[in-house]
Amino acid sequence: MNNAARLVVHKEEATMRSSPKPPSSIRTSTQNEITPELEQRIRLRAYELFEQRGRQDGHAWDDWLQAESEVTHHRMKTVAA
């Protein structure tokens, strides 16, 4: 397995273990539309934000909400086009 493939596998494993999930008590406008594929894209983007911050703990919700906003905004722009 090459280094790029290892990075992808590592990133996917890390996001599956440590990525935040939205609480059931909070409903976002897009939550009813979140498919498993969309949730995975949000999860990966949240992990990227975590890495960009230098892997500082304590910002999981901020990362999740920013990632959700970015991914769903991009999705809406794509659908509208």
Residue-wise pLDDT tens digits, 3-53 = 444 444 455 555 555 555 655 544 555 455 778 999 999 999 999 999 999
pTM here is 0.56
Nearest Cα residue to 71 out of 11, 30, 32, 25: 30
List the structure tokens of 56.
């500082």
Q: Which two tokens stand for residue 14?
A: 């890390």
**How would residue 76 be classed by pLDDT, with cut points 50, 70 and 90?**
confident
- The per-residue pLDDT for 73 is 86
Of 68 and 10, the structure prediction assigns the larger pLDDT to: 68
| Rounded distance between C-alpha atoms, residue 26 and residue 40, angstroms | 19
